[in-house]
Chain A
Amino acid sequence: MSNTKYIIGSFADPDEMMDGIDRLQANNIGIYDCFTPMPIHGIEAKLGVRPSRLPIAAFCFGITGTMLGFSLLYYTMTYDWPMNIGGKPALPLPNFVPVTFEVTILLCALGMVATFFFRNHLFPGRAPRVMDLRASDDRFIIAVDARENTDHEKIANLLKEAGAVEVKYNERKYVSYE
């Protein structure tokens, strides 16, 4: 088992997986990551994953959009070529609201999603880094780094006690590469 890189605990039930995390942590065994077919609420707190800062990014992009949108309107309608359109003022603020709003939303959405993709390395054609192919179907996976945690038998026992249906010793980190 010396070639084992990761120990994979495969659970059929999310609550049993959570139990598995508790058991491992109680024994001071660090968890590399979990892979699940659906979002598990409360798992971040358990694993000490910090809250996402994406809302901040979204807000910044939104504000940028507001400023860009308004600047565009101000530049074109008021500064560059003011025109008399039905006697309306050159700076018709109420008429600027809709476009400014739309640009805000557009930039907020695109900027936030781009940040999400960038931070998680999601882009078309990226080779999927999957540790167990059933993690996107019906298995809830706990991955433990086998080099840092050497007592492999104990880890396997703890996972099985928690209800793991299968414990795998992966010699390759990602099984998805061909």
Chain B
Amino acid sequence: MSSHNESILREPLITGKDITYAKVTDDILLPVENKPNKAWWIGFTLAALGALLWVVSVSYTFWTGIGAWGLNKTVGWAWDITDFVWWVGIGHAGTLISAVLLIFRQNWRNSINRSAEAMTIFAVICAATYVVAHMGRPWLAYWIFPLPNQFGSLWVNFNSPLVWDAFAISTYFTVSLVFWYCGLLPDIASVRDRAAGLKRRIYSIMSFGWNGSVKTWQRFEIVSLILAGISTPLVLSVHTIVSMDFATSVIPGWHTTIFPPYFVAGAIFSGFAMVQTLLLVMRKVLNFENYITMFHIESMNKIILVTGSIVGIAYLTELFIAWYSGSEYEMYAFANRIAGPYWWAYWTMMTCNVISPQLFWFKKIRTSIPISWVLSIVVNIGMWFERFVIIVTSLHRDYLPSSWAMFYPSWVDVGIFVGSIGVFFTLFLLFLRFLPSIAIAEVKLLLKSASLQQKTKLVKEGHLNPEQVEFFRNSLTKYDSVTEEDIKELEIK
């Protein structure tokens, strides 16, 4: 029931005064219904320039071949696969927020799931471009799928994790897209019913004729729940399979059973960091402070702390097992990571991923917006280096010392990476401009239970335990969107 009174101990998920259903729609649709401001244009221009760099670098790769990259005979996988795994990992947070948190009935997901899912889709698009680029002959990319063919009906090798990966990533992309779009339907209908002229027509087509009747909503909720239920094992399987690209090989440093859980934790870790990077800017620029509150920020920081610690333990376990295995090659691979020619990459990874998230144990840091933002970027730098360390340091010194080599990226490598960030932000900024970036219907659902104004009303009615009210008041001090007057109002006279 929408009028269900939530415990006063729970922190509010919507702050601000006089928030009505109409105001929620108005606030969230502001960027969609109005001309974009200067900040958007500056961001979009920069991102589009990045995307242009991507087009140039990828075209150059296709024109000249993979030789345009810094790869050599020994290091056959480097920047490209690093970037691929990095982007796929970033994508995972969106599914985690939209699916796992839905199953666990975490209501705070309601105002961040939309943008996080959009981020997932754009990140997976970026990741997929690397796979295609790495094939060298992208016009033959369909060979990865088991299609009847003229080569004596030669099928793909289903024993290979690379084939599993093609299935996993394409399924993941499709299911995420469907999940995201289903959730968008009611909100697109909101835009449609308020718009006029051509805009109305376009949003009308996009809304699939949504009308919000009882049966539609009932089925909508079932669909969301089942999609969440199947997306949860799916998201785990995707990064498990990505890790198997490495773990099923016999390369020291890759051939470990810890990879699947360790990669999944790392994926969620980097994904939440990316969500944080985007949302902290988005809430400020689009004035969403009342919907994406300090509680959301702190919760995400807590998840970054947990997953960062899991990743840290995985690093240490890897080291221990390398020693405990007694395998000379395994031990060398790790000694080489720590103190070899790529020591700086290893220690960047260790500092960014293991040490920096531990700062989130301090509440002051966890609830500070500038520090959270900087740390979220630090985490993503660290997670990029993690993939670089795993891939390049394990390969560059193989079994034969005569073929030992170093990897140096070419401008094309760097161009594709920087460019893909441009592609990502171009897509994300277009999303902010044309689609509701917060799930309007789901936020409305919280208005009568989890909003500050509702809780203030409950306190004023005065049937609550004063100790609990005191606890609630204290929890509000960290909110940047709650004024001292708001807190004063909660005093029990």
A residues neighboring B (CB under 8 Å): 12, 14-15, 33-44, 47, 49, 51-52, 54-55, 58, 62, 72-73, 76-77, 80-81, 83, 85-86, 88, 92, 95-96, 98-99, 101-103, 105-106, 108-110, 112-113, 116-117, 119-131, 133-138, 176
Contact = CB atoms under 8 A, between A and B. Distances in A.
7 contacts: A38-B442, A81-B152, A102-B171, A126-B208, A129-B209, A136-B189, A136-B190
A37 B337 CA distance: 55
Contacts of B213: 33-35
B20 A138 contact: yes
A49 B213 CA distance: 11
Contact of B159 (A92, A103, A121): A92
B167 A128 contact: no
A34 B214 contact: yes
Given A51-B218, A122-B208, 16 more contacts: A35-B211, A35-B212, A35-B213, A39-B221, A43-B214, A44-B218, A72-B146, A76-B155, A80-B155, A98-B168, A105-B175, A116-B220, A125-B204, A130-B193, A131-B211, A136-B210
B237 A101 contact: yes
Interface stretch (B81-89, B223-231, B323-331): B223-231
Given A15-B3, A38-B445, A81-B154, A130 B21 contact: no
B271 interface: no
Given A99-B167, A136-B189, A137-B190, A113 B182 contact: yes
A44 B156 CA distance: 49
A128 B195 CA distance: 13
A52 B214 CA distance: 11
B441 A39 contact: yes
A38 B211 CA distance: 11
B493 interface: no
A128 B3 contact: no
Nearest to A88: B159
B362 interface: no
Interface string B169-189: 001001100110010011001
Contacts of A77: 155, 158-159
Given A37-B190, A125-B205, A137-B22, A113 B230 contact: no
B208 A124 contact: yes
A96 to B, nearest CB: 7
Contacts of A116: 182, 219-220, 223
Contacts of B216: 120, 122
B2 A40 contact: yes
Given A39-B445, A99-B158, A112 B226 contact: yes
A117 B208 contact: yes
B27 to A, nearest CB: 12
Contacts of A109: 174-175, 178-179, 227, 230
Contacts of B244: 98
A98 B211 contact: no
Contacts of B174: 106, 109-110
Contact of B158 (A12, A41, A73, A136): A73
Interface string B415-444: 000000000000000000000000011101
Nearest to B167: A102
B458 interface: no
Given A120-B219, A136-B212, A138-B25, A99 B193 contact: no
